[in-house]
Structure 1
Amino acid sequence: MNAVSALSIPLKPVQAICQQHQVKMVQAGPHQICPQCAVEFAEQQRKNTQAEVDRMVREKHFAGAMLPERHAQSGFKNYLVKHAGHQNALNQIVAYAKSILNGDKNNLIMVGPTGTGKTHLSCATARTLLNKGRHARYITSEDLAQKIMDAWDRKIPDATEKSVIYDFTQYDLLILDEYGLHDRDKRRELVHKVLYARYDRMKPTMLISNMTIEELKTDLGDRLWSRLQHGYLTVVECNWNDQRVGGAA
């Protein structure tokens, strides 16, 4: 008999004393138990069950975030800082992650050449939110457009363009990487539909691109650029050499 079931049957005080709590034991069927031990045991069982549920939910959230395998362990602590530019970018992204956790709905744009650590910082942001029980999703601009197009071709069961776009408005943070590398025109229009939808639902988006800020403004257009700035827009410029090939300046 466990402590919880013992508490559900008639209890009768006995002379035996619990050595831990120095209180009288009670008779519960054929067993003598300490009421306080029973309560503590039940509470510990509840905590263990909740911890297991939290772990399973956390794992599900991480799996649903679809972080690139290369960046599955990328965090703020293992971001390599070699110069002031790195430190400034790190500070801005950490502050942004904190603002999202505090309930802010602002957007962030991160631009710079390839290999400058943008994806690392974005995945570190996602992991920070996921560890706090929030929903984050990483996807490239190309893959986002393709998911909508797959719905057109019925490659996703029961999905429509509208339902796919709606799904991408549900995340607390959407990380849209490699903006501008998608095929032009039609795919860009689909990506913009998602950005508009997230704006309408007041959901923050992190937009990452190899474009310059001026190129990005032109590509997004005045209406969408204005919406991205609504409230407050954080702009992080990673203007240094490709770190993958040894660049540090």
Structure 2
Amino acid sequence: MNTMALLTDGFQKVEVFCTEHNIAKVQAGPNQICPKCAINLVEFQNKNRQKEIDQMVREKHFAGAMLPERHAESGFKNYTVQHAGQKNSLNQSISYAKNILIGVKNNFVMVGKTGVGKTHLSCATARTLLNKGMYVRYITSEEMAQKIMRAWDKDTKDASERSVIYEFTQYDLLILDEYGLHDRDKRLELVHKVLYARYDAMKPTMLISNFTLAELQKDLGDRLWSRFQQGGLTVVECNWADQRLGQVGGGV
């Protein structure tokens, strides 16, 4: 039975016609309604409800990503391009986002001095994926280490640590910013555990650092650097001045 039949079955038709659809209205309680108008109203309400649900999901995804407030509106379109280096960084970031959307699971490294636009591009990548319903998490390496260490306060240290590391493996993309600015020794080990876990789970990671590429390779170590390259690695070196100081740059 179709929707029109469901709405008319059991209702008494009245000698009043809908001026829009030229069909007889039916008596529904004290009201006379056009079945087709009723269908259109239900469909309109359902579409609006779906829009509300989609918006709620989108807002939840964005909130869960924990993007810095300063970069809440950072996108590819408002990234400043003033020279070839910035153009290359932008194009590489856009290509990386597109690849993840089609299921490619390789890693991305962006290195360079502070203020050259690394975080802007990483957040633009995040926003692109979030808008497509994917799960992304932005975090600095120090914040990550601190979160794992706070889990040690629970009863079973090893289990609590594993649960936090497992949490970081669930995101479609992890953006690890300010790599290398964490305190050393134990914190470095914790950050590396997350990177190893994401490698094992075949999940892509975007690693952002103020290190030079050589310094980053040394800090990650041969084993982790080798794994980080598996499946293809995109490397972007941002070798230009800090825009925050009023020099040529690519966004903050």
CA distance in 2: counterparts of 1:87 and 1:37, whole angstroms:
53
Amino acid at match of 2:200: D
Tell me what 1:83 maps to: 83
Structure 1's unaligned 5+ residue stretches are 1-5
Report 1:164-175 matches (<5 A).
164-175=164-175
Amino acid at match of 2:216: L
Amino acid at match of 2:169: T
CA distance in 2: counterparts of 1:232 and 1:18, whole angstroms:
64
- Deviation of 1:162 after TM superposition, in Å, equals 0.6
Is the counterpart of residue 55 in structure 1 residue 24 in structure 2? Answer: no
CA contact (8 A) 2:66 2:139 kept: yes
CA distance in 2: counterparts of 1:222 and 1:21, whole angstroms:
73
CA contact (8 A) 1:105 1:204 kept: yes
TM-score by length of 1: 0.91
Tell me what 1:226 maps to: 226
TM-score by length of 2: 0.90
Tell me what 2:3 maps to: none
Runs of 4+ with >3 A deviation = 6-9
Deviation per CA, 1:55-83, whole angstroms, max 9, x where unpaired?
Answer: 12211211111111111111111111111
CA distance in 2: counterparts of 1:8 and 1:110, whole angstroms:
64
Is the counterpart of residue 110 in structure 1 residue 110 in structure 2? Answer: yes
Pairs aligned (count):
243
User: Percent identity of the aligned residues?
Assistant: 71
Amino acid at match of 1:173: L
CA contact (8 A) 1:116 1:241 kept: yes
Tell me what 1:160 maps to: 160
CA distance in 2: counterparts of 1:21 and 1:236, whole angstroms:
61
CA distance in 1: counterparts of 2:141 and 2:8, whole angstroms:
58
CA distance in 2: counterparts of 1:9 and 1:145, whole angstroms:
65
CA distance in 2: counterparts of 1:91 and 1:176, whole angstroms:
20
- Deviation of 1:9 after TM superposition, in Å, equals 7.6
Tell me what 2:25 maps to: 25
Name the SS of the counterpart of 2:165 in structure 1: helix
Tell me how large the CA RMSD over aligned residues is: 2.1
CA distance in 2: counterparts of 1:12 and 1:234, whole angstroms:
69
- Deviation of 1:130 after TM superposition, in Å, equals 1.3
